[in-house]
């Protein structure tokens, strides 16, 4: 495994993200409430640049006729056809079998690193 540092933590404030090129891969690094997550900038449906998609939340499990919004800023919606993925895991919201690659991150001395070889 190798850690690739992609910038200072202040460059990616909470609620924002940055797309970087690391080891020949395009990867989006997201700051969700002070924690960093990294996903492949590639949609498994037809290859869209996933990280150009809106960051949003979703409806949570609830009763019939009850709509509860939650997980704000934890979901990315593909810009081409709207498939939605959990930024924390790379998993789609509609199937456990559909996902984009995700990577572990770490912060060392104020620098955000992506751990290549740690694909989750």
CB of 4 to ligand FES, least distance (A): 25
> Which residues, numbered 60-89, are part of the site for ligand FES (CB under 6 A)?
78, 80-81, 83
Decide if residue 54 touches ligand FES (CB under 6 A): no
Residue 85 backbone class (left: φ over 0; alpha: ψ -120 to 50; beta: rest): beta
CB of 8 to ligand FES, least distance (A): 31
Burial class, 21, CB count within 10 angstroms (exposed 0-12 / middle 13-18 / buried 19+):
exposed
Q: Taking CB under 6 A as the rule, which mask of x and - marks residues 24-53 in contact with ligand FES?
A: -------------------x-xx-x-----
Nearer to ligand FES, 6 or 40 (CB): 40
Residue 42 phi, psi dihedral angles, 5° rounding: -155, 125
Angle at 31 between CA 108 and CA 29, to 5 degrees: 80
Decide if residue 106 touches ligand FES (CB under 6 A): no
């Amino acid at each position: 495994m190798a850690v690739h540092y992609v910038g200072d933590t202040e460059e990616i404030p909470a609620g924002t993200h940055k797309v970087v090129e690391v080891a020949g891969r395009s990867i989006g690094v997201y700051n969700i409430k002070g924690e960093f997550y990294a996903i492949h900038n590639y949609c498994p449906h037809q290859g869209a640049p996933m990280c150009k998609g809106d960051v949003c939340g979703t409806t949570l499990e609830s009763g019939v006729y009850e709509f509860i919004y939650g997980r704000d800023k934890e979901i990315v919606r593909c810009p081409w056809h709207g498939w939605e993925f959990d930024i924390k895991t790379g998993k789609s919201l509609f199937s456990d079998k559909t996902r984009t690659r995700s990577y572990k991150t770490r912060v060392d001395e104020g620098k955000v690193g992506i751990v290549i070889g740690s694909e989750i």
